[in-house]
Amino acid sequence: MTPSMPKALEETNFSWLGDRYVGKVRDSYVRGGQRVLVATDRLSAFDRIITTVPGKGQILTQLAQYWFDRCSSIVEHHVIAVPDPCVMIGREVSIVPVEVVVRGYVAGSAWRDYAAGRAVSGVALPAGLREFEKLAQPIITPSTKEAFGKHDEPIAESEIVARKIVSASLWEEIRETALRLFKLGTAELESRGLLFADTKYEFGVLDGRLVLADEIHTLDSSRFWVADSYEARLQSGGSPEMLDKEPIRRWLMERNFKGDGPIPSIPDEYRMDLMRHYTTSFTRITGTECVIERSSPLERIERNLKDYFSRHPVSLQTHSS
């Protein structure tokens, strides 16, 4: 390992917290009505775990916290506390089994579907679009939320309601909320010289109320582009400068990997490049410095969690045994 590279947080196993659920990036534990979400440094692409990027979990957690704070006027969110740079404690909600993707530009999987002549989650886009082109207005292109190890699948809004995955009234509330969140994010990012290309939201229901869950406007769930790079590169057929996870997807596709087969070897030098990419992107998105805690992540997280629960005894007493 490169000497200057901090130790990556690959996984956790805090048995004292209860049963562990392992997602693509986060390990979670349920204590009564609360869920402890630990963002590891795992990097996923094409629904596969590719490698680890030291500090990534900290960056995702702090970026999500930044946006949860700014979006609380639009919708209630699940977060109760952030006791560690990698940890969010949230209320346990009934997750809506749909990933709500909002797009302002045609890029990524939407472009790949469009270029192949397919509708994008049931949305037929107009002819003649170029990759990265801005859409006349933001669109919602949902996907199913599959178990870890399975590919999420595009699904039309009409099918969500027809299959009774979500009621018509709840879907309308989700749709309106997602568009409002995207509008808020777009306005703030434009003030920093960035374009908000697309993002993914996850929602839950708690006591009959819609609640924003998981993460929001992070580098793993969104695409951010540098505005100054956009027009010139669009005209030349190039891609805008990207502050998100798309560069790793392209790096993998250049090596003929799109989710199936063996994962290409990821050199430490490239992992360090990715770490710098994540930290620089955080600063440009938030306007604040990104500070990575370099202490042993497992020991630090366990210490901070035990301290948190010692100061919140009600949480300990409601633990489901």
Read off the pLDDT of residues 131-182 as tens digits, 9 standing for 90 and up. Answer: 999 999 999 999 987 655 455 689 999 999 999 999 999 999 999 999 999 9
Write down the pLDDT at residue 238.
85
- What predicted TM-score, i.e. pTM, was given to this entire model? 0.90
pLDDT number for residue 33 = 85
Q: Is residue 2 predicted with pLDDT exceeding 60?
A: no
Are 23 and 49 a contacting pair, CB within 8 Å? Answer: no
CATH class of 96-236: alpha beta
pLDDT given at position 319:
37
Cβ neighbours around 178 below 10 Å, total: 23
Is a pLDDT exceeding 70 seen at residue 4?
Answer: no
Amino acid at 291: V
The answer, yes or no, to whether residue 211 has pLDDT greater than 50, is: yes
Calpha distance 228→221 (Å, rounded): 22
pLDDT higher than 70, residue 195? yes
Tens-digit pLDDT profile for residues 267-304? 999 999 999 999 999 999 999 998 898 888 999 999 99
Would you tell me the crossing angle of helices 268-286 and 246-254 to the nearest 10 degrees?
150
Share of the chain above pLDDT 90, in %: 81
For Cα atoms 233, 237, 242, give the angle at the middle one, nearest 5 degrees.
Answer: 45
The pLDDT, as a whole number, for residue 234 is: 80
Backbone dihedral region for residue 252 (phi beyond 0: left; psi -120 to 50: alpha; all else: beta):
alpha
Quickly name the fold that domain 15-94+246-317 has: Phosphorylase Kinase; domain 1 (3.30.200)
Residue 38: phi and psi, rounded to 5, are -105, 115
Supply the pLDDT for residue 151: 57
pLDDT for the residue 316 = 40
Strands of 34-39's sheet in order across? 20-22, 26-31, 34-39, 87-91, 79-84
Report how far residue 219's alpha carbon sits from residue 204's, in angstroms, rounded to the nearest whole number.
21
| Cα–Cα distance for residue pair 194/213, rounded to 1 Å | 25
Tokens of residue 52, six digits: 């680890």
Distances (CA, A) of 151 to 46, 53, 138, 148, 291: 8, 22, 24, 8, 34
Smallest CA-to-CA distance from 197 within 209, 207, 185 is with 185
Using 50, 70 and 90 to split pLDDT, how confident is the model at 236? Answer: confident
Q: Give pLDDT, residue 229.
A: 92
- Compute the average pLDDT of residues 39-59: 94
Q: Which pLDDT value is given to residue 298?
A: 95
Q: Where are the domains of the chain?
A: 15-94+246-317, 96-236
Structure confidence by residue, pLDDT tens digits, 64-122: 999 999 999 999 999 999 999 999 999 999 999 999 999 999 998 999 999 999 999 99
Confidence class of residue 235 from pLDDT cuts 50, 70 and 90? Answer: confident
State the average pLDDT for the chain: 91
| Topology match between the domains 15-94+246-317 and 96-236 | no
